[in-house]
Amino acid sequence: MAHNDRKALFLDLDGTLLTDDKQIPQGNREAIYRMLDQGHSVIIATGRPLGSAVLQAERLGLTSKGCYIIAFNGGVLYDSFERKAVYRSTLPLDIVKKTFEEANRRGIHIQTYRDDRVVVEPVCDDELVREYSRKMIVEEEVIPDVALLDEEPVKMLIIDDRDPAPLQAFREWVASWADGILDTFFSNDQYVEIVSKGLNKGNALLQMADILGIDRENTIAAGDAGNDIKMIEAAGLGCVMCNATDDVKAVADYITEKNNNECGVAEIIEKFVLL
Average pLDDT, the chain: 95
* Strands lying side by side in the sheet with 191-196: 139-142, 117-120, 109-114, 156-159, 191-196, 182-188
pLDDT classification of 274: cutoffs 50, 70, 90: very high
**Structural domains of the chain, with CATH:** 3-88+199-272 (3.40.50.1000), 93-196 (3.30.1240.10)
The pLDDT tens digits for 76-119 are: 999 999 999 999 999 999 999 999 999 999 999 999 999 889 99
Mean pLDDT of all residues in 185-194:
90
By CB atoms closer than 10 A (0-12, 13-18, 19+), residue 63 is middle
Give how far Cα 30 sits from Cα of 15, 39, 101, 179, 261, Å.
18, 15, 47, 44, 15
Percent of the chain with pLDDT over 70: 99
In terms of pLDDT, which residue wins out, 275 or 261? Answer: 261
In terms of pLDDT, which residue wins out, 31 or 188? Answer: 31
What does 152-195 look like in DSSP terms, one character per residue? --S-EEEE-SS-SHHHHHHHHHHHHHHTTTEEEEEEETTEEEEE
How far, in Å, CA of 222 to CA of 199, rounded? 18
Give how far Cα 191 sits from Cα of 58, 111, 128, 168, Å.
25, 11, 11, 10
Mean pLDDT of all residues in 139-150:
96
Percent of the chain with pLDDT over 90: 89
How far, in Å, CA of 243 to CA of 140, rounded? 31
Q: What is the pLDDT of residue 258?
A: 98
Q: What is the pLDDT of residue 1?
A: 53
How far, in Å, CA of 94 to CA of 110, rounded? 15
Please list, in sequence order, all residues whose beta carbon lies within 8 angstroms of the beta carbon of residue 102, skipping any fewer than 6 positions away.
170, 173
209 pLDDT higher than 80: yes
The pLDDT tens digits for 5-33 are: 899 999 999 899 999 998 999 999 999 99
Mean pLDDT of all residues in 51-63:
92
Q: What is the pLDDT of residue 3?
A: 57
Give how far Cα 211 sits from Cα of 12, 169, 182, 216, 221, Å.
19, 37, 25, 12, 17
Q: What is the pLDDT of residue 275?
A: 76
What number of other Cβ atoms are within 10 A of residue 173's Cβ?
A: 15
2 pLDDT higher than 60: no
What number of other Cβ atoms are within 10 A of residue 185's Cβ?
A: 18
Q: What is the pLDDT of residue 256?
A: 98
H/E run at residue 36: helix 26-37
How far, in Å, CA of 227 to CA of 222, rounded? 12
